[in-house]
Amino acid sequence: MNSIVLPAPIQAAAVADRPEPVVRLTDVHRRFGATPALNGVSLEVGKGEIVGLIGRSGAGKSTLIRCLNGLERADSGEIAIEGRRIDRLAEQELQPLRRRIGMIFQHFNLLSAKTVIDNIALPLKIEGVAKAERLKRARELLDIVGLSGRERSYPSQLSGGQKQRVGIARALAARPALLLSDEATSALDPETTHSILALLKDINQRLGLTILLITHEMEVVRTIADRVAVIEAGRIVEEGPVWSVFANPQSQVTASMLRSVRPQLPEAIARRLSTAGKHLLLAVDITSPDAQSVLFDLAGLGSKTVRLLHGGIDHIQGQPVGRFFISVAANDAERIQKFLTSRLARVEVLGHVADHA
């Protein structure tokens, strides 16, 4: 059955008055043989923002991050960090700019033969900073990441979450303008992931640090990002505030990736859908500030013809985001849909059911 989709109130769009970008990519292309890894990527990350870049394996995330830190060269397009183009700089010219970019990795990349404090101070040692100054900075960072007193420990003596905290401290050693997080929580358990994300958010707020999160986990983006960009087949297919994209995904790949964090139609009900029946099954998405009152009003409006089957209301970035599934008597469906759209809801007809499911 063809779905009927009524107009959505809010489209995922760029945020007005976005801060001056720390990162600007303009129509960036990168091919490996006949395969386009990046196929016209344009993206901005403003000063102090946390932006999540999310995509499936092979979507182009790793190539994009390697182009940002100068490990890959774009075939065409422009890449600028803090207003300076880096896509055509010689290797020697790239070195000072790389110090403005901190990196944290999925598997920590710590040197096992060095202590925690020496791992953190390593970028400063390479830069030629005096020993006393680099150790002072490393101790400051140990305090920031919650590892004071562990400076003489070795990586083998740390948990996964502690290792990642050391990795974050090391990435901050040279006071970067941009922090790139490359799947930094993928190897961690859920509780540790939550603590690391809370740490990143704290660092962002305390230091005003710009963060680009490269991830395939929607929950990571939902937890701390301000905006999200979805990459697929080397292109940005969707971009906007996290709450808006979560509430009203515009691309098929985004909707698919959101399945784990948005209410979905229970399989037992989906199996009962047909092309004819006494009741229509509707999927309802709503981002109105009074989303909860819509449910109460709907219950009163259609007390005998409407039944809530599944779903609920969440809050993302302080915005109420509702998604629920209702069964509506077919002869009352038009009235109910008009009411919902008048309250700024998006309604999709999924099919018929013989009864109220």
Whole-number Å distance between alpha carbons of 135 and 129: 10
Final residue before a domain boundary, out of 259, 283, 318 = 259
Instruction: Give me the pLDDT at residue 78, please.
Output: 96
Sign of CA dihedral 67, 71, 74, 80: positive
Instruction: Give me the pLDDT at residue 1, please.
Output: 39
pTM: 0.85
- At residue 243 the predicted structure's pLDDT band, cuts being 50, 70 and 90, is very high
Instruction: Give me the pLDDT at residue 225, please.
Output: 95
Instruction: Give me the pLDDT at residue 355, please.
Output: 66
Residue 40 has pLDDT above 90, yes or no: yes
- Note whether 347 and 279 are same-domain residues: yes
Give 98's DSSP letter.
H
Q: What is the pLDDT of residues 126-138, one digit of tens each?
A: 999 999 999 999 9
Q: Domain total for the chain?
A: 2
Report the candidate in 100, 192, 206 with the shortest Cα–Cα distance to residue 143: 206
Final residue before a domain boundary, out of 234, 259, 284 = 259
Q: What is the pLDDT of residues 56-115, one digit of tens each?
A: 989 999 999 999 988 899 999 999 999 999 988 888 888 888 889 999 998 899 999 999
Q: Return the percentage of the chain with pLDDT > 70, whole number.
A: 93
Final residue before a domain boundary, out of 242, 259, 276 = 259
Question: Phi then psi for 307, rounded to 5 degrees?
Answer: -135, 125
110 found inside a domain: no
3-state secondary structure of 281: strand
- Note whether 186 and 76 are same-domain residues: yes
- How many CB atoms are located within 10 Å of the residue 6 CB? 13
Whole-number Å distance between alpha carbons of 239 and 43: 9
Residue 14 has pLDDT above 70, yes or no: no
For β-strands 210-215 and 50-54, DSSP reports them as parallel
- Note whether 280 and 255 are same-domain residues: no
Instruction: Give me the pLDDT at residue 300, please.
Output: 81
- Note whether 273 and 253 are same-domain residues: no
Q: What is the pLDDT of residues 204-230, one digit of tens each?
A: 999 999 999 999 889 999 999 999 999
CATH number at residue 280: 3.30.70.260
- Note whether 338 and 189 are same-domain residues: no
Residue 347 has pLDDT above 50, yes or no: yes
Q: What is the pLDDT of residues 295-305, one digit of tens each?
A: 888 878 766 78
- Note whether 184 and 215 are same-domain residues: yes
